[in-house]
Amino acid sequence: MAAASFRETEAAAACKVSEYRLKPLKQAEAVIGAYQKIEETAVGGYKKIERKFVDTFLEKAEDSGRNGEVPPNSED
C-alpha cells in the first residue's frame, strides 16, 4: 500500500512539474546579459572605491624579505 501511495505522489509531482517549461533561448540570453551588465557595474564601482582607498591611504612597502613583516624603524 505504501508503494502505491508513493507512486501516486510521484505522479502528482510530475504533473506539477509539467506546468513549467524552459523559456526560449533568446529570452534567457537577454536576462543573462542584463545580469552581467549589472554585475559589471557593481564590480566596477567597487574597484573604483578600492583604487581610491589604496591611492589615498596606502603606499608601496619596501621589500623587507621577512614575509610581510614591517621593517624596524631605523630612525629610533
Instruction: Enter the C-alpha cell of residue 18.
Output: 509539467
Q: Is residue 13 part of a domain?
A: no
Q: Is residue 3 part of a domain?
A: no
Q: What is the DSSP letter of 6?
A: H
Q: Is residue 45 part of a domain?
A: yes
If you search the block for the grid coordinates 589615498, which residue do you land on? 56
Q: Is residue 55 part of a domain?
A: yes
The pLDDT tens digits for 3-53 are 556 666 666 666 566 787 767 788 888 988 999 999 999 999 999 999 999
Give the gyration radius of the chain's Cα atoms.
Answer: 29
- In 3D, which of 20, 38, 19 has the Cα closest to residue 30? 38
The domain tally of the chain equals 1
Residue range(s) defining the domain that contains residue 50: 22-59
Helix, strand, coil proportions of the chain in percent (round to 5)? Answer: 65, 0, 35
Q: Is residue 66 part of a domain?
A: no
Residue 1 has pLDDT above 60, yes or no: no
- Report the pLDDT value the prediction gives residue 4, as an integer from 0 to 100: 56
